[in-house]
Chain A
Amino acid sequence: MHRFAALYNAFDTSSGNNAKVAALLKYLSESEPEDAAWALYVLLGKQGKRLITGRRLLQICVDQSQLPEWLLNDCYAQVGDSAETISLLWQQAGTCTRQPLHYWLEQLLPNAAKLKDQEQTAAVRQLWSGLNQAELLVANKLLTGGLRVGVGPGLVVRALAQLTELDEALLQHRLMGGFKATAANYIALVAPAITAESVPSRPYPFFLASPLEIKDPEIPLPNSPNSWLIEWKFDGIRAQLIHRANQVFLWSRGEELINNSFPDLVAAAANLADGLVLDGEILIWPTDAELPAPFALLQKRLGRKEPNRKLLAELPASYVVYDLLELNGHDIRSQPLCQRRNALEALMKSAATSCLRLSARLPLDRWEQLEPLRQKAETVAAEGVMLKNLESPYLTGRKRGYWWKHKRDPYNLDAVLIYAQAGSGRRANLFTDYTFGLWDAGGKLVSFAKAYSGLDDAEITNLDRWIRSHTTERFGPVRVVEPVQVFELAFEGLQRSTRHKSGIAVRFPRISRWRKDKIAKEADTLTTALALLT
């Protein structure tokens, strides 16, 4: 644990990526496989549910620290992170327990999490007593599941590649499909490459598109539109469908196995030939419907671990296939897209059902037609178009130049800032979580969206100062401010919702600009918003 805390500290205090990779490389090469496995597991963000909430940890701290609860809350507000707050407050250093990382993550921490009340309090304090400030911070972050330290999967794979002299793509592939922290898995991960590596369930790393920024509308992309595959960009769940060894595996982009949520798709895929891997989008799309249903309905399906028959009938899932990665047990990702597409079209000729649909190839003769096509996306329930270079291999991650997504313009509304709350971490003690309202028919502001991003640092500082001097009421950490400031919000879509006072839920709201030129009365109304309902 002390070595992992030192690694965390090295990440935290080094600026360059090279220094971070070097620190990780050193850690891995000096670790037992079970510790290395856990370190990767944590750094790759695979730690799932938190073991104990930050609130509870603060509670455990407060009884011992002899500080009043309000003062502890003031401390938390200043620090913006419960794990760190405790590390700064906890003053008792006891006998040091030099247990390795895997023991902490497999035994000590989960065991403490299972206990209740006084027993848990005692157990957590026992754990804390053997740690210095830096270790305390890391242990608490492992408990609250919030260990983020600016080292993403890319850097982890880079360090692994240097350690093993293996190809980064191979390592990425080996890490796919829910890497579990065991010594055996780590040993397999860093083992020398063999010719036929096959784990039936293992998905390929996803290839991701980049947003298209058009500089010259006449030539948005190199070459003629003929050298590009153009498709609708649907608003569903990206998923990889695997049929190998007579088993079906459906993986989301977040590497969750989602077979249980989509038994209809799994059943349909079982009829496909074996040794097949597809890339596509899950949508709700009833047999007789011309268009797919909005994303909100898909969320209903995703929320159910095992949907009942009624839900399956009401909201039937459909998988829109757009790429073929493996055919007859052969990895064909290195073939150009045009070849993969031909093979896919041949396959789908016999396989297509209402449950498995081939993503349509949209005709485009001249680049001038691109903009009208993008504008049409809304009418087919798509959020834009995809442009894929027909020569492109199926790469891993986001590599610019091959695949582009070209979304339709976001919706915009001018809304009034009504509540503000302090952020956490880097934004601790700064009011950066904003709630916005629109005018209802009775001339009252109704909250309709929260947004956290879109302002630059200077704007955040200015707005923070304004909020502090224009607070009219406080509810715990939330401040009600004078309804004066108008912001233009951008978002991807609107849905009816019973969970929000306004009756509307918005998708991906963010601030597009501060409308200092507008007064609150000129902000938009709920009626305007309702008119945008898709």
Chain B
Amino acid sequence: MTLPPGSLLELTPQGLYCRAAEAWIDPWRPVSRALITHAHADHARPGCGEYWAIGSSEMILRKRLGAAIKLNAVSYEEPLHIGAAQVSFHPAGHVLGSAQIRVEAGGESWLVSGDYKRCADPSCTPFKPVQADVFITEATFGLPIYRWQSGAEIAQQILEWWRSKADHSSILFAYAFGKAQRLLAELAAIGVSDEILLHGAVEALMPAYRSAGVSMPPTKALSMVNKGDSLAGRLIIAPPSAHRSVWMKRFKFPQTAFVSGWMAVRGARRRKGYERGFVMSDHADWPGLISSVKESKAQQVFVTHGNSDGLARYLKEVEGISAEPLNGDFS
């Protein structure tokens, strides 16, 4: 369904719109004022008049949307007055600088989760529950089969996998912004201090994380390694797009693995053709989604992304919470 007309947030062709703030949250098309939950490309798009986002995402936003964008860098929990609305950004625990955005006006409050997760992540500020009358939540992993182990446990599995092949290189495929740096931080947290090699796309995001003070092992761009040098025993992190691309030619019989929440299901892993899958996600798992909805104390919940129909139905029928899927270009 769409949002009721006249409510604090409305759904317009450009995306979620707050009339009181004269602003869109993560708009799909260029608008005059955009409030950005985080810097992933499907949430932060170019061409807007001005942007509001958490300060630690500024470097990445400028890199992706243009150095000259007009950007208001804000802090978590900072009370903001935009137009006639009170707006605040709260930690979402998704990636560096990710936020839930709360808007309040005319005695009504709404919370937009953006993407979020509940388990600990040493590369970004942890999720903080926030209350509002209406909660718009994502549901990327909105099925009870998705339950995450901690990042430390997965890092340990990855370490064992990596160490088991000293005579070959080990390539981990992970999303270049967020997942790759979380992996590095999780590995550092369990004591890894070896130098790790990075694909160019991952390397490009490192300055933002380094300057935010995230503790990670030493890293080097793979392109800085001399052509003839052995890569045996080295761990390389690359984006999934590099899998089976010409970039792979450099490696002789590497072992490969994909790090993603989708790897929880064997069929998904086999379909993608990865030998090994490590189940680590930057999205909330099923228990995380349910508890976040409950903690928001919202009277009304709208669900976007992924299994929105299923999560909304579950909230309604089992938890007795008024919930509806929200249709739109959420991707």
Chain A residues with CB under 8 Å of chain B are: 12-15, 65, 67-68, 70-71, 74-75, 78-81, 84-85, 88-89, 91, 424-430
CA distance A533 to B313 in the complex (A): 51
Beta-carbon contact of A65 and B143 below 8 Å: no
State how many angstroms separate the Cβ of A72 from the closest Cβ of chain B: 8
A78 touches B276 (CB 8 A): no
Stretch at the interface among B7-15, B196-204, B220-228, B267-275: B267-275
B268: which A residues are within 8 A, CB to CB? 428
The answer to whether B310 touches A81, judged by C-beta atoms less than 8 angstroms apart, is no
Task: Tell me, rounded to whole Å, the shortest Cβ–Cβ distance linking B272 to chain A.
Answer: 10
**Contact assessment for A426 and B267 in the assembled complex, using a CB-CB cutoff below 8 Å:** yes
Query: How would residues 131 to 143 of chain B score, 1 for a CB under 8 Å from any chain A CB and 0 otherwise?
Result: 0000000000001
Number of A-B contacts defined by CB within 8 Å: 60
The 9 closest A-B pairs by CB, nearest first: A88-B145, A428-B267, A15-B275, A426-B270, A75-B145, A80-B267, A13-B276, A426-B267, A74-B310
The answer, among A67, A68, A74, A81, for a CB contact under 8 Å with B307, is A74
Per the CB 8 Å criterion, the residue count for chain B at the interface is: 21
Alpha-carbon gap, A431 to B314, bound state (A): 25
B144 at the interface (CB under 8 A from A): yes
Would you give the shortest CB distance from A380 to chain B, in whole angstroms? 44
CB distance from A425 to the nearest CB of B (A): 5
Closest Cβ of chain B: how far from A477's Cβ, in Å?
16
- Name the B residues within 8 Å of A68 (CB-CB): 314, 317-318
* CA of A426 to CA of B273, assembled, Å: 10
CA distance A495 to B298 in the complex (A): 63
A428 x B144 contact (CB < 8 A): no
Mark out the residues of chain B between 299 and 316 whose CB falls within 8 Å of any chain A CB in the assembled complex. 307, 310, 313-314
Q: Within residues 78 to 124 of chain B, which ones have a CB less than 8 A from any CB in chain A?
A: none
Q: List 13 A-B contacts (CB under 8 A).
A: A13-B276, A67-B144, A71-B144, A71-B310, A71-B313, A74-B143, A75-B143, A78-B145, A80-B265, A81-B267, A84-B265, A84-B266, A428-B267
The answer on a CB contact under 8 Å between B144 and A425 is no
Which residues in A have their C-beta under 8 angstroms from that of B147?
88, 91
Say whether B255 faces chain A, with CB atoms less than 8 Å apart.
yes
Chain B residue numbers with a CB within 8 Å of A13 are: 275-276
Question: How distant is the Cα of A67 from the Cα of B319 in the complex, in angstroms?
Answer: 11
Contacts A71-B314, A74-B310 known; A65 to B265 CB distance under 8 Å?
A: no
Q: How far is the CA of A67 from the CA of B145 in the complex (A)?
A: 11
Kindly state the separation between the CA atoms of A74 and B307 in the bound complex, as whole angstroms: 10
Report yes or no: B143 in contact with A15, Cβ–Cβ below 8 A: no
- Set of chain A residues within 8 Å of B20, measured between Cβ atoms: none
CA distance A81 to B313 in the complex (A): 23
Among B146, B275, B317: residue with most chain A CB under 10 A: B275
- Whether the Cβ atoms of A15 and B255 lie closer than 8 Å is yes
Once the chains bind, are B275 and A14 in contact (CB under 8 Å)?
yes
Q: With A13-B275, A13-B276, A71-B310 given, is the CB distance from A425 to B267 under 8 Å?
A: yes
A79 in contact with B271 (CB, 8 Å): no
| B266–A81 touching, CB < 8 Å | yes
Task: Please state if A78 and B275 are interface contacts (CB–CB under 8 Å).
Answer: no
Cα of A451 to Cα of B143 in the assembled complex, Å: 30
Contact B144 A426 (CB under 8 A): no
Contacts of A84 in B (CB 8 A): 265-267
* Contact in complex: B267, A79 (CB < 8 Å): yes
| Closest residue on chain A to residue B310 by CB atoms | A74
Known: A75-B143, A78-B143, A85-B145. A428 touches B318 (CB 8 A): no
Chain A residues, Cβ within 8 Å of B146: 88
The answer to whether B318 touches A88, judged by C-beta atoms less than 8 angstroms apart, is no
Complex Cα distance, B318 from A425, in Å, reads 29
Chain A residues within an 8 Å CB radius of B267: 79-81, 84, 424-429
Question: Chain A residues near B145 (CB, 8 Å)?
Answer: 75, 78-79, 85, 88-89
CA distance A156 to B313 in the complex (A): 47
When A15-B255, A71-B310, A426-B270 are in contact, do A79 and B265 touch as well, CB less than 8 Å?
Answer: yes
C-alpha spacing A428/B145, complex, angstroms: 14
Which residues from chain B contact A425 at a C-beta distance below 8 Å? 266-267, 270
Q: A13-B275, A71-B144, A88-B145 known; A78 and B265 CB under 8 Å?
A: yes
Q: Which residues 254-300 of B sit at the A interface, judged by CB distance below 8 A?
A: 255, 264-268, 270-271, 275-276
A352 CB to closest chain B CB (Å) equals 51
What is the bound-complex CA distance between A70 and B307, given in angstroms?
13
- Please indicate the chain A residues that have their CB under 8 angstroms from the CB of B271 in the complex: 426-427, 430
Tell me the nearest residue of chain A to B314, going by C-beta.
A71
Q: Which residues of B contact A79 (CB under 8 A)?
A: 145, 265, 267
Given A425-B267, A426-B270, A427-B271; 18 other pairs, CB 8 A cutoff? A67-B318, A68-B317, A71-B310, A74-B310, A75-B144, A78-B143, A79-B145, A80-B267, A84-B266, A88-B146, A88-B147, A88-B264, A89-B144, A424-B267, A426-B267, A426-B271, A428-B265, A428-B268
Closest to B318 in A: A68
Taken together as a complex, chains A and B put the C-alpha atoms of A425 and B265 apart, in Å, by 9
> Whole-angstrom distance between the alpha carbons of A13 and B269 in the complex?
10
Question: Within the assembled complex, what's the spacing in Å between the Cα atoms of A425 and B266?
Answer: 8
A74: chain B residues within 8 A (beta carbon): 143, 307, 310
Whole-angstrom distance between the alpha carbons of A71 and B317 in the complex? 11
Kindly list chain B residues whose C-beta atoms are within 8 Å of the C-beta of A426. Answer: 267, 270-271
Whether A65 contacts B275 by the Cβ 8 Å rule is: no
Closest to A424 in B: B267
Q: How far is the CB of B311 from chain A (nearest CB, A)?
A: 10
Q: Which of B178-231 contact A (CB under 8 A)?
A: none
A65 touches B276 (CB 8 A): no
| Chain A, Cβ-Cβ closest to B270 | A426
Taken together as a complex, chains A and B put the C-alpha atoms of A426 and B268 apart, in Å, by 7
Chain B proximity of A9: nearest CB distance (Å): 11
* A89: B residues at CB distance < 8 A: 144-145
How far is the CB of A421 from the nearest CB of chain B, in Å?
Answer: 15
Instruction: Tell me, rounded to whole Å, the shortest Cβ–Cβ distance linking B253 to chain A.
Output: 9
Closest Cβ neighbor of A91 among chain B residues:
B147
Which of B147, B266, B275 has the most chain A CB atoms closer than 10 A to its own CB?
Answer: B266
Complex: A70 Cα to B144 Cα, angstroms: 12
Question: With A and B bound together, what is the CA distance between A13 and B255 in angstroms?
Answer: 11
CA distance A73 to B271 in the complex (A): 21
B142: nearest chain-A partner, CB-CB: A74
**Shortest beta-carbon distance, B271 to chain A, in Å?**
5
User: What is the minimal beta-carbon distance from A338 to any residue of chain B, in angstroms?
Assistant: 45
Query: In whole angstroms, how far apart are the Cα atoms of A12 and B147 in the complex?
Result: 21
Most buried by A among B145, B268, B314, B317: B145
Chain B residues lying within 8 Å of A80, measured Cβ to Cβ, are 265, 267
A241 to chain B, nearest CB (A): 41
